[in-house]
């Protein structure tokens, strides 16, 4: 079931969280809502979930207008950043909760819960309490719990934010694989552009309550709609009115045409790539990224004077 958000607005007192937001989420997709803190992405998710009522606009699940329906009637599955585990229930009871509330027969609950625990690889831990699980395990439990009721839509609110870096990476990959298996329309909220690019098929970039751009990771990177998207999605150099990616800065030791003169401040070796931090006479800092060979060919080191020219640049027409 696809989701359509039409001209949704939401205010908290004087603060405008969502300003005329319209977005279409295709059925079966894995979409990321990406944006900085306070951008409104969580609010949008909660409006779709039915945990917040919008001041204006509509939310459609499939063809149904659910704008005025409470969360419990929408059939959405939700996963929270801090797990929201029912700490007084075992893992098994947590996952079974939605089914118990719907008064499903005991045998059905048994089968379904076992199925899901297997899916999220928590079979042996059914009798444990959330307090006895690691963060990653708790989040997998939360996912199983949300999936138990066969939701039409799965909503994840910064699900990996409370986990440490290694677990985060593992769960990202795991989520992708899960989505390929289960194919539920999924929306994930994140402020981490790397996470969005890695996990989602479609990204909605949100800033200050407005949608900046919607596209695939590649589209966002290669054809950003504006300065905000470009600089949010990756590092960028601003040269006057043009924007240049570090990879698109070519360096040479000889002045060429209108190349900018800059001094190398620092060289950072990132595996087989090299990041050169440059500084111009007027104090502006530039970032260039080259391969190991390119850096060696120029004999780059601290203090060397180079001439930088963009091999590709982007200009935004207002």
Partner 1 sequence: MATNAAAAVSRGAVLGRAGGGLARGIAVGYLSLIVLVPLAALVWSSRSQGLHTFWQEVTKPEASSALKLTVVVSLLVAAFNALTGTAIAWVLVRDSFPGKGIVNAVIDLPFALPTVVAGLVLLELYGPSSPFGVDVAFQRTGLVLALLFVTLPFVVRSVQPVLLELDREMEEAAESLGAGRLAVFRRIVFPNLLPAILSGVALAFARAVGEFGSVVLISGNIPFKTEVSSVYIAGQIESGNPAGAAAVSVLLLLISLAVLLAIGAFRHWRTRHDR
Distance between CA 110 and CA 136 in Å, rounded? 24
Residue among 77 and 217 whose Cβ is closer to partner 1:
77
The answer to whether 50 contacts partner 1 (rule: CB under 8 A) is yes
- What is the pattern of x (binds partner 1, CB under 8 A) and - over residues 239-278? ----------------------------------------
Considering only the stretches 116-124, 142-150, 198-206, 210-218, report the one whose residues sit in contact with partner 1 under the rule CB under 8 A. 142-150
Please report the DSSP string for the chain in residue order: --EEEEEEEEEETTEEEEEEEEEEE-TT-EEEEE--TTSSHHHHHHHHHTSS--SEEEEEETTEE-TTS-HHHHTEEEE-TT----TTS-HHHHHHHHHHHTT--HHHHHHHHHHHHHHTT-GGGTTS-GGGS-HHHHHHHHHHHHHTT--SEEEEESTTTTS-HHHHHHHHHHHHHHHHHH--EEEEEES-HHHHHHH-SEEEEEETTEEEEEE-HHHHHHS-SSHHHHHHHS--EEETTEEE-GGGEEEESS--TTPEEEEEEEEEEETTEEEEEEEETTS-EEEEEEEHHHHHHTT--TT-EEEEEESS-EE---
The answer to whether 197 contacts partner 1 (rule: CB under 8 A) is no
The answer to whether 131 contacts partner 1 (rule: CB under 8 A) is yes
Considering only the stretches 47-55, 57-65, 185-193, 231-239, report the one whose residues sit in contact with partner 1 under the rule CB under 8 A. 47-55
For the bound state, the minimum distance from the C-beta of residue 102 to partner 1, rounded and expressed in Å, comes to 6
The answer to whether 120 contacts partner 1 (rule: CB under 8 A) is no
Residue among 101 and 268 whose Cβ is closer to partner 1:
101
The answer to whether 209 contacts partner 1 (rule: CB under 8 A) is no
Give how many residues touch partner 1 by CB under 8 A. Answer: 30
Residue 242 has φ and ψ, to the nearest 5°, of -105, 155
Residue among 48 and 197 whose Cβ is closer to partner 1:
48
Residues 66-105 that bind partner 1 (CB under 8 A): 70-72, 75-78, 80, 82, 84-90, 97-98, 101-102
For the bound state, the minimum distance from the C-beta of residue 83 to partner 1, rounded and expressed in Å, comes to 8
- What is the pattern of x (binds partner 1, CB under 8 A) and - over residues 143-182? --xx-xx---------------------------------
Residue 289 has φ and ψ, to the nearest 5°, of -125, 125
Structure tokens belonging to residue 247: 């990879």
The answer to whether 53 contacts partner 1 (rule: CB under 8 A) is no
Residue among 58 and 90 whose Cβ is closer to partner 1:
90
Residue among 86 and 316 whose Cβ is closer to partner 1:
86
Q: Where on the chain is the footprint of partner 1 (CB under 8 A)?
A: 49-51, 70-72, 75-78, 80, 82, 84-90, 97-98, 101-102, 129, 131, 142, 145-146, 148-149
């Amino acid at each position: 079931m696809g989701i359509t958000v039409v001209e949704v607005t939401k205010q908290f007192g004087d603060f405008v969280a969502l300003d005329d937001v319209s977005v279409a989420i295709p059925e079966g997709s894995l979409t990321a809502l990406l944006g900085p803190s306070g951008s409104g992405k969580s609010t949008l998710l909660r409006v779709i979930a039915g945990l917040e009522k919008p001041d204006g606009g509509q939310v459609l699940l499939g063809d149904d207008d659910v704008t005025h329906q409470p969360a419990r009637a929408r059939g959405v599955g939700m996963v929270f950043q801090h797990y929201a585990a029912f700490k007084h229930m075992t893992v098994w009871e947590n996952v079974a909760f939605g089914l118990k509330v719907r008064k499903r027969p005991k045998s059905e609950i048994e089968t379904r819960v076992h199925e899901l625990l297997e899916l999220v690889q928590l079979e042996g831990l059914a009798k444990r309490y959330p307090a006895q699980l690691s963060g990653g395990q708790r989040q997998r439990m939360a996912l199983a719990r949300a999936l138990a009721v066969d939701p039409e839509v799965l909503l994840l609110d910064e699900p990996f934010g409370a986990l440490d870096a290694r677990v985060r990476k593992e769960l990202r990959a795991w989520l992708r694989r899960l989505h390929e298996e289960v194919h539920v329309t999924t929306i994930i909220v994140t402020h981490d552009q790397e996470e969005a690019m890695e996990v989602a098929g479609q990204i909605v970039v949100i800033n200050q309550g407005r949608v900046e751009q919607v596209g695939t990771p590649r589209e966002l990177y290669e054809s950003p709609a504006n300065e905000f998207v470009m600089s949010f999605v990756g590092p960028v150099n601003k040269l006057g009115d043009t924007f240049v990616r570090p990879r698109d800065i070519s360096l040479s030791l000889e002045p060429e045409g209108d190349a900018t003169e800059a001094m190398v401040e620092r060289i950072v070796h990132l595996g087989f790539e090299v990041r050169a931090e440059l500084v111009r006479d007027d104090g502006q800092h530039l970032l260039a990224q080259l391969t190991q060979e390119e850096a060696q060919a120029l004999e780059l080191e601290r203090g060397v004077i180079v001439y930088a020219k963009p091999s590709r640049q982007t200009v935004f027409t207002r």
